[in-house]
Chains A and B, each alone.
Chain A
Amino acid sequence: MTERLADWTIGTEAIIYQSCRACGKVQYFRRAFCAACGAPDPVEQRASGAGTIYATSLVCRAATPETRAHVPYNIVLVDAAEGFRMMAHGDNDLTIGDVVTASYRSFAGRLVPYFAKTR
């Protein structure tokens, strides 16, 4: 097993994905194996933060006091340039197909990836 690279899920400003040494498939949810072919030890890599908006939903009704302080906030699915899809936050006016770049923001006491249109 290769060493785990720190990412936003543990408070570091980075988006990490894995690619399979055997079949070349990429995956976003971290595992000790490739979910496509089962080969062990996929390589961890840092993503560029570039991507395209696949879907959006502006959350106007949150379920906890911590998240309610942030409404409305835009949940987006981003197709990363490296070929995986991820969920993140983004500017409220993002629309499907927008070319975006990642930054990071604090949300309900956690670090989250935040996308805005690439300038």
Chain B
Amino acid sequence: MSFITGVGLTPYGKHEGSSSLDLMSKAAELAIADAGLKRSEVDGVLCGYSTVSPHIMLATVFAEHFGIQPSYAHAVQVGGATGLAMTMLAHHLVDAGVARHVLVVGGENRLTGQSRDASIQALAQVGHPDYEVSLGPTIPAYYGLVASRYMHEYGVTEEDLAEFAVLMRTHALTHPGAQFHDPITVADVMASRPVAMPLKLLDCCPVSDGGAAFVVSREPTRASRIRVRGCAQAHTHQHVTAAPALSELGAEIAIAKATAASGIAISDVRYAAVYDSFTITLAMLLEDLGLAGRGEAAARVRAGYFGRDGTVPLNTHGGLLSYGHCGVGGAMAHLVETHLQMTGRAGPRQVRDASVALLHGDGGVLSSHVSMFLERVR
């Protein structure tokens, strides 16, 4: 058994002059304080990676910088799924008695620490070095390919995809830490600059600075008990050229295994935190996870289903699309927001009932998936 006992999150956007270690430290400090722990009580550290400051041993670099000497520490790299993959590992580590309190931390000065071109270029390297990268693709192009096929097979339109950008922006308007606070409309998304068709600028998450952290513990440390009920992964490919058919992607495999592991059904889910690097990512994952029928997710957005007052509120902080994306920390903000919602601390964003939450992360080009159920225990 394991509990998420504390969470920490910086605002996303520009943190001029902050290093990746600074942002990780800031988030870690918040999470440890939130758990009611002292630094010295943290005996495990899992961290992600930084494209700005790559290092072969980032977890010990961080531990030394932060001033702790854990008995278990290493980095994890699963692209956008890293945050949830670390949470899954932390869950198993505390459950197995390897550590009592595992600090999971990610942070990067991705926006101010390097040029946007350098960022885009670094990320494009997830492509195959011989058979893909020399063709000049970008991450939006990899997802643009998937989008074109998904739209073709399921009749999804660019206007449908735009709904997800608008929803995430609407949610971000109520979070002071979000990178974007200007409201947008479907027409704004449609009129935004083409990036990699069918994806336009407002279909794409931004590049951000920021940090996020949480503590995963064997026992609750506070009155609010948020338990990891079950989780699972699936990895079907790395490169989009080698991806299976749309009906055989990893999200469906991971959610089926997580459902079996947890005994929780999709119909039990009261709050959802789903990876949204691009509007197409969110649309596909919602449908793969069973939170909407094939080709029907946009209609559910229009009907208010995923809004703050809807049946299954989704990414109420604004997601990667509008809260921001600082790399590993990006999707960790989804878990931080979920925890705030589950513990009734989301302030003006608070939803009615977040007693059971589904989280899903995606790394690569729908390559690596982690599904996780959290529940509030009385």
Contact = CB atoms under 8 A, between A and B. Distances in A.
Interface in B178-230: 193-199
Contacts, number: 105
B51 interface: no
B141 A110 contact: no
B236 to A, nearest CB: 13
A87 to B, nearest CB: 5
Contact of A67 (B136, B145, B240): B136
Chain B residues touching A, majority SS:
helix
A87 B194 CA distance: 21
A86 B131 CA distance: 8
A interface, size bucket: 20 to 34
Given A64-B121, A86-B241, A29 B137 contact: no
A112 B198 CA distance: 23
A73 B128 CA distance: 19
B302 interface: no
Given A55-B148, A60-B195, A96-B149, A75 B137 contact: yes
Contacts of A77: 145, 149, 240-241
Interface residues of B, number: 34
Nearest to A70: B136
Contact of B131 (A29, A55, A62, A76): A29
B145 A57 contact: yes
Given A108-B136, A112-B135, A61 B146 contact: no
A58 B138 contact: no
Nearest to A92: B197
A22 interface: no
Interface in B241-281: 241-242
A75 B131 contact: no
B16 interface: no
A1 interface: no
B361 interface: no
A57 B136 contact: no
A101 interface: no
A108 B148 CA distance: 25
Interface in A57-113: 57-64, 67, 70, 72-73, 75-77, 85-89, 96, 107-108, 110, 112
Interface string A25-64: 0001110000000000000000000000011111111111
A9 interface: yes
A9 B138 contact: no
6 nearest A-B residue pairs (beta carbon): A57-B144, A63-B120, A67-B136, A60-B194, A58-B197, A55-B145
9 contacts: A29-B128, A55-B146, A57-B140, A57-B144, A57-B197, A59-B196, A63-B117, A77-B240, A96-B148
Interface of A: 9, 28-30, 54-64, 67, 70, 72-73, 75-77, 85-89, 96, 107-108, 110, 112
